[in-house]
């Protein structure tokens, strides 16, 4: 496999995960998790979202969270925004980066933000202007890049058209999202093989959901094409409230464990990350999908039963 020596992971659990929890997570616990993630070495954290509280009530404390987190040098703190009003709020709250989203399919865009793709592009143009004035970087996500829960397959030409419209309004960083876990590794390879030569100046990110247990295989496929930026969610939290059947994002500690086992650098302390996952499980009050928390790292060793140990050659000697 032709894989990069290092990758960058953006933690999205405190936004993508916490936004769909049935019970409101207190502000102090959100702040605690963000700080623990930063202490574990996460280089990028999507902390929250500046949306109307009626739309996403679980993140109605976005300003308070941003005001109370301990800013770790080396960590970039971002927030998702739907429009220029959200962008202004995010800038005023001191974010390091703004994340936006538009869907590759019209039906999902209408379900997600109640706008056509064309209408979203106008909103995103205004967001870019706010960010430019504030000298804040912008990352543009494209939902349903690999399939739509309402329309099925999203033609590659349609995805390319959305990416081109984003570059036309000034996007330099674009994330392709497998919103409902419909992608497969061959498809991921085909998409990046098609798009990367057409948009050589773009910094690409892959955002995966593990709905059908394909997230890490899809990440590996993207890595073979030179993609080095990936979103992940602590414990595998998350899903999309506007995409039927969507389960959580790829689990952060599972992904870091996989990369570490292959000798790929992330600069994330896996033991600390596992501890954060356990803390998040306690906060949400249920077992999360992540596997490493349950099984332990692959380097974990167990004591031999006495009946086995006594029969080993070394024991007899």
Reply yes or no on whether the pLDDT at 179 is more than 70. yes
Q: Is 240 labeled as catalytic in the residue annotation?
A: yes
CATH number of the domain bearing residue 50: 3.20.20.70
Dihedral pair phi/psi, residue 110, rounded to 5°: -65, -40
Measure the CA–CA gap between 217 and 98, rounded to whole angstroms: 28
The CB-side HSE value for 179 (13 A sphere, CA atoms) comes to 26
**pLDDT band at 154, cuts 50/70/90?**
very high
Measure the CA–CA gap between 100 and 165, rounded to whole angstroms: 14
Measure the CA–CA gap between 289 and 249, rounded to whole angstroms: 10
- With respect to residue 65, please indicate whether it lies within any of the assigned structural domains: yes
- With respect to residue 3, please indicate whether it lies within any of the assigned structural domains: no
Q: Under a CB-based contact definition with an 8 Å cutoff, are residues 251 and 290 in contact?
A: yes
Reply yes or no on whether the pLDDT at 280 is more than 60. yes
Catalytic pick from 10, 140, 148, 240? 240
Reply yes or no on whether the pLDDT at 317 is more than 60. no
Cα distances from 145 to residues 77, 105, 150, 154, in angstroms, run 25, 8, 13, 7
Q: Which pair of tokens denotes residue 88?
A: 């202004």
Give the DSSP letter of residue 251.
Answer: B
- With respect to residue 152, please indicate whether it lies within any of the assigned structural domains: yes
Instruction: Domain of residue 309: give its range.
Output: 8-316
Q: Summarize pLDDT for 119-140 with one digit per residue, the tens.
A: 999 999 999 999 999 999 999 9
Residue 10 parent element (H or E): strand 8-11
pTM: 0.94
Please state the rounded mean pLDDT for residues 214-219: 98
Q: Under a CB-based contact definition with an 8 Å cutoff, are residues 107 and 144 in contact?
A: no
Dihedral pair phi/psi, residue 138, rounded to 5°: -130, 135
Reply yes or no on whether the pLDDT at 315 is more than 70. no
Please state the rounded mean pLDDT for residues 75-100: 98
The pLDDT assigned to 248 comes to: 83
Dihedral pair phi/psi, residue 256, rounded to 5°: -65, -40
- With respect to residue 126, please indicate whether it lies within any of the assigned structural domains: yes
- With respect to residue 2, please indicate whether it lies within any of the assigned structural domains: no
The pLDDT assigned to 1 comes to: 85
- With respect to residue 174, please indicate whether it lies within any of the assigned structural domains: yes
Q: Which pair of tokens denotes residue 292?
A: 């490493």
Q: Which pair of tokens denotes residue 184?
A: 């497969």
Lowest mean per-residue pLDDT among 81-90, 172-181, 278-287, 299-308:
299-308
**pLDDT band at 241, cuts 50/70/90?**
low
Residue 161 parent element (H or E): helix 156-168
Domain total of the chain:
1
The pLDDT assigned to 316 comes to: 45
Q: Summarize pLDDT for 225-234 with one digit per residue, the tens.
A: 999 999 999 9
Reply yes or no on whether the pLDDT at 8 is more than 60. yes
- With respect to residue 77, please indicate whether it lies within any of the assigned structural domains: yes
The pLDDT assigned to 301 comes to: 87
């Amino acid at each position: 496999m032709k894989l990069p020596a290092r990758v960058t992971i953006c933690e999205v659990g405190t936004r993508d995960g916490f936004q769909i929890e049935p019970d409101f997570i207190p502000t102090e616990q959100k702040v605690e998790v963000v700080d623990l993630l930063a202490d574990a070495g996460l280089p990028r954290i999507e902390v929250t979202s500046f949306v109307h509280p009626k739309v996403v009530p679980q993140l109605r404390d976005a300003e308070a969270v941003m005001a109370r987190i301990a800013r770790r040098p080396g960590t970039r703190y971002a927030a998702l925004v739907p429009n220029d009003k959200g962008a202004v709020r995010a800038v005023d709250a001191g974010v390091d980066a703004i994340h936006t989203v538009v869907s590759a399919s019209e039906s999902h865009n209408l379900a997600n933000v109640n706008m056509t793709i064309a209408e979203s592009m106008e909103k995103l143009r205004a967001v870019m202007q706010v960010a430019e004035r504030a000298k804040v970087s912008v990352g543009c996500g494209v939902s349903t890049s690999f399939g739509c829960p309402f329309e099925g397959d999203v033609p590659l030409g349609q995805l390319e058209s959305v990416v081109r419209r984003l570059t036309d309004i000034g996007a330099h960083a674009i994330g392709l999202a497998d919103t409902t876990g419909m992608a497969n590794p061959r498809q991921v390879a085909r998409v990046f093989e098609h798009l990367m030569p057409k948009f050589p100046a773009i910094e690409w990110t892959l955002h995966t959901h593990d709905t059908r247990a394909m997230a890490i295989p899809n990440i590996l496929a993207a890595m073979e094409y030179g993609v080095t930026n990936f979103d992940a969610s602590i414990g595998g939290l998350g899903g999309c409230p506007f995409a039927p059947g969507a389960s959580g994002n790829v689990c952060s500690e599972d992904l870091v464990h996989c990369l570490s086992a292959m000798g790929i650098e992330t600069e994330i302390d896996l033991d600390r990350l596992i501890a954060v996952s356990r803390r998040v499980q306690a906060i949400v009050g249920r077992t999360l999908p992540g596997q490493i928390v349950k099984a332990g790292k692959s380097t974990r060793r167990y004591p031999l039963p006495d009946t086995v140990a006594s029969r080993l050659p070394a024991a007899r000697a």
